[in-house]
Amino acid sequence: MRMRLARWALFLLAATACGCGNPGTPPERDGRLNVVCTTGMLADAARNVAGELADVHALMGPGVDPHLYKATERDIRRLAQADAVFYNGLHLEGRMGEVLGRLKGKPVVAVGEALPPERLRRTPEGALDPHIWFDVSLWQMVVRTIADTLGKADPANAQAYERNARRYLSELEELHRYCGEQIASIPRERRVLVTAHDAFGYFGAAYDIEVRGIQGLSTESEASVRGINELARFLAGRGVKAVFVESTISPKNVQALIEGCRALGHPVRIGGELYGDAMGAAGTPEGTYTGMVRHNVDTIVRSLK
């Protein structure tokens, strides 16, 4: 693996040295920027800001777990040829860190690391939570970062990026209100969200719902029998009737939790599937950021209310 990364690191250095993605110079190919994003959520934000002024590619599609994703040779070529690259940062794309760190000669922006440090969530152990898209107000800041970056990369179209960003930010403001109003409709004693891994901490803090995850921040962490049993006792004690699976994670740990609750005489059902680390399929409502968030909120409310 190290030898493969080293070879492609040399390719990246050679490609960028040849002038690929020179910041401040609009691309020659039909005037459109070539933008590469790691996740679908970032690509959706970039498309809303860029409109017809850029070709935007996401490296990770529906159902792909970014914590475990490894860059392919095609990905590395795309990154080398991009005019701008956006990635989440905060160790979300942990296995791509070396590749992303070697990109030169273009804007390469870790959007999460551009957020105010005081707005970032930390675990009791001090690890930063990368799942920033679940607080829509934080995602609005990400959209602003994308608009500013594209405007600098393509100054001739900076005003268009700004107009598109303002329109999209208005949509996100409405979505932020929707999330708060809908979650508030769940009775306080039932407002407990249990998911396959600890991806919804920002969501819980922003919209006032208690959140528990079977696995930790990264799906590379292992769920312990002890942890599952402790969570089962918590659910039984609180009378929580529904837990949720995630689209990018095997449901086996959720099933083990349900079995643990059953052993305690407390029946628990799967309340639905949530989109955690990836959006839904292209062409579906869940294949957009706003549609994904609305799906999650509606599924949670329907199952817990």
Looking at 3.10.105.10, 3.40.50.410, 2.40.30.10, 3.40.50.1980, the CATH number of the domain 2-175 comes to 3.40.50.1980
Where along the chain do its domains lie? 2-175, 181-304
Whose CA is closest to 55, among 145, 138, 140, 154?
Answer: 154
Q: What is the pLDDT of residue 16?
A: 44
- Per-residue confidence band for 226, with pLDDT thresholds at 50, 70 and 90: confident
Structure tokens at 232: 């089962």
The top-level CATH class assigned to 181-304 is: alpha beta
* Domains 2-175 and 181-304 fall in the same CATH topology: yes
For 258-288, write each residue's pLDDT tens digit: 999 999 999 999 999 999 999 999 999 999 9
Q: 217 to each of 91, 163, 227, how far by Cα in Å?
A: 10, 35, 14
Q: Does position 181 have pLDDT exceeding 50, yes or no?
A: yes
Q: What average pLDDT does range 10-18 have in this prediction? A: 44
Q: Does position 2 have pLDDT exceeding 60, yes or no?
A: no
Q: What is the pLDDT of residue 198?
A: 86
- Per-residue confidence band for 20, with pLDDT thresholds at 50, 70 and 90: very low
Q: What is the pLDDT of residue 157?
A: 98
